[in-house]
Amino acid sequence: MSNMIQSNGGRDGGRDGGRDGARRSKFGRFGARRREVLPEEPLEYKNVAYLSKFVSANGRIQSRKRTGFSGQNQRKLAEAIKHARLIGLLPFVGRM
């Protein structure tokens, strides 16, 4: 019996949750996972007006933290911006 793990003071028999404590968060200690943002328009290199929303004043690609995109969409965004830069649609450095 000494090996038995007791949580919540053992009142709910070792289960998480219940009256004595909040259920352990699935996403860590600091609250719910950030909701994923979906792109409003296709992430293509030709869609320059939309892509330029995700480029900083210095011409840098915004981070996932700022765009809110999923990993897959963030990679599509980065590739589209890099393609647009190659053919002179977006600047490598600086503003249009």
Partner 1 sequence: MTLQRTRTYECMCLLDNREVRKGWQPLKDAVTGIFTKHGAKILSSRRWDERRLAYAIRGQQRGTYLLVYFAADTQSVTAIRRDLQFNESVLRDLLVECAEVPQTAYEPEAAFDVNAIPADDAPAAPEPVAAPQGEPVAETPTEA
* Residues lying near partner 1 in the complex (CB under 8 A): 45-46, 83, 85-92, 96
Q: Which is nearer to partner 1, 43 or 85 (CB)?
A: 85
Q: What single letter denotes the amino acid at residue 16?
A: D
Shortest distance (Å) from residue 51 CB to partner 1:
11
Tokens for 82? 């890099």
Shortest distance (Å) from residue 79 CB to partner 1:
9
Shortest distance (Å) from residue 67 CB to partner 1:
20
Q: Which is nearer to partner 1, 64 or 83 (CB)?
A: 83
Shortest distance (Å) from residue 92 CB to partner 1:
7
Q: Which is nearer to partner 1, 74 or 85 (CB)?
A: 85
Q: Can you tell me the distance from the alpha carbon of 6 to that of 16, in angstroms, rounded to the nearest whole number?
A: 10
Q: Can you tell me the distance from the alpha carbon of 64 to that of 38, in angstroms, rounded to the nearest whole number?
A: 12
